[in-house]
Copies of this chain bind each other. A is one copy, B any other.
């Protein structure tokens, strides 16, 4: 539960029967980088999500959501106050909407 984005795009890539070597160049990176991204060892650039979604014929918004969820998970993992902090944030965000 800590690399949902990477796992998802790997799943999508395999479903499309694409190899790293086919996808990576389209994102202007090498296969090693993309491999790391899929395993959650490197960050994927948010700005590239739309392009990636297109390549993988996936839902852009879903990928963006997973990407953001991973960022959040990173922050709160190992944090005892995670739960309460999330509640605080949810409350705050509702006021902005």
Residues of chain B lying within 8 A (CB to CB) of residue A97: 83
Provide the main secondary structure of the chain A interface.
helix
CB 8 Å contact bits of A28-63 with B (1 = contact, 0 = none):
000000000000000000000000000000000100
The bracket for how many chain A residues form the interface is 20 to 34
With contacts A73-B89, A75-B75, A89-B86 known, is A95 near B1, CB below 8 A? yes
CB of B72 within 8 A of CB of A76, answer: yes
Q: How far is the CA of A1 from the CA of B81 in the complex (A)?
A: 18
Residues of chain A having any CB pair with chain B under 8 Å? 1, 4, 61, 64-66, 68-69, 71-73, 75-76, 79-86, 88-90, 92-93, 95-97
